[in-house]
Amino acid sequence: MTVKRINFTNRKRLTREHANIVIHPPINGQGCATFDAQLDLNHLRPQADTARVFVEAYHQTTRMRFDFGTVGAITHPARAECRLHEFHDWKDVLFRVKITDVQDHPGQLLGWGNQIRPKGPDDMDEPDLVRFKDADLYGLLWDIEYDDHGPVVLIELNAGGVQHVGRDDRFRAAVFPEVLRRTLVKALVEDEIAHDDVDHWFALWFEGFLKPKLGLPAPPPAEDITRRRDWIDNAVKAFARHFRIAEFWSADAPRPAGEEA
């Protein structure tokens, strides 16, 4: 006999669309992994605006809890505060997200997502758009070339190539904004493609990433190069904000004396 489960509590189940976790492995195996929580809790608003948002990382008997503010005012702790330093191996860590009432029934869960398996940086959306290739660059660490499918980032093999340099979070943080800038300049300024050219690889970039992830409007028409350059500047800044690029560096920066991780 099957037993039907009935949710009497009105607790909302959070899916990956509501609560997605991206984990950032330690750089070159040093230090500890960090994570980002991408939370979209609009479906709980405004009724649950005052409810607290907690993200818990756990594995066996180890758990770490992180305060992400309230549903109405989500606050993302700095990357340095999202260090998974209590876990022996970050690959084991799962996450749960709790939306906790603090007003009418303090402690009651209004929403919860459990056993959330984090995505790794390799699962992030942008690498699908950017391909990497080992190359002999005669002194350069990286360069970029284009083919019919878009940009290919070349990485000096003698410096460690794609396996080492290309997977380094700090390298990505430093290089990806520039890859984006050069790629947009290539498509919109040099090639002067029409913004609605569905046959060009830029269409995939725009419809698959720039518009849904960064919320960018369509680029100005090809005749208006000045506005296109402004649009590119805005796109790069939006990219940096979305992925909190600067924090890739601040996470491991020396902290003031007496400040705990």
Partner 1 sequence: MLFRRFNDKGVQAFAAYLDALRADPKAPVPTDLLTNPRLTHPLDPPIDAEPQPFNTRMDFCRWLHDAAEAAGTEAPRRDAGFWAWLTLALFDQVCPENGGKRKPGELARYVPMYDDWKRRYRHLLATPYNIFLIHEDDPVRAAFILNTPLNVLGEITEQFASRQELISCPGTMALATHLFVDPSTNRLKAKVSGNAPRRLGKLLNQYQRTWDITIMEPPVAAAILPREFDRFRK
In the complex, the residues that contact partner 1 under the rule CB under 8 A are 9, 11, 52, 54, 58, 60-63, 65, 98, 100, 102, 106-109, 112
Q: Mind giving me the DSSP string for 5-23? A: ----S-PEEP-TTTEEEEE
- Rank residues 110 and 188 by Cβ distance to partner 1 and give the closer one: 110
- What's the closest the beta carbon of residue 56 comes to partner 1, in angstroms? 9
First to last CA, the chain: 51
- What's the closest the beta carbon of residue 19 comes to partner 1, in angstroms? 15
- Rank residues 107 and 256 by Cβ distance to partner 1 and give the closer one: 107
- Rank residues 29 and 106 by Cβ distance to partner 1 and give the closer one: 106
- What's the closest the beta carbon of residue 100 comes to partner 1, in angstroms? 4
Tokens coding 155: 């990485």
- What's the closest the beta carbon of residue 76 comes to partner 1, in angstroms? 20
Give 153's strand partners: 132, 144
Contact (Cβ atoms closer than 8 angstroms) between residue 16 and residue 96 = no
Beta strands across the sheet bearing 62-70? 62-70, 52-59, 94-100
- Rank residues 67 and 178 by Cβ distance to partner 1 and give the closer one: 67
- Rank residues 111 and 219 by Cβ distance to partner 1 and give the closer one: 111
Contact (Cβ atoms closer than 8 angstroms) between residue 206 and residue 218 = yes
- Rank residues 5 and 29 by Cβ distance to partner 1 and give the closer one: 5
Tokens coding 33: 């992994």
- Rank residues 100 and 183 by Cβ distance to partner 1 and give the closer one: 100
Please report how many Cα atoms fall inside a 13 Å half-sphere around the Cα of residue 61, on the Cβ side.
0
What is the rounded distance in angstroms from the CA atom of residue 52 to the CA atom of residue 27? Answer: 32
What is the rounded distance in angstroms from the CA atom of residue 32 to the CA atom of residue 24? Answer: 9
What is the rounded distance in angstroms from the CA atom of residue 131 to the CA atom of residue 99? Answer: 38
- What's the closest the beta carbon of residue 61 comes to partner 1, in angstroms? 4
Tokens coding 185: 């300049």
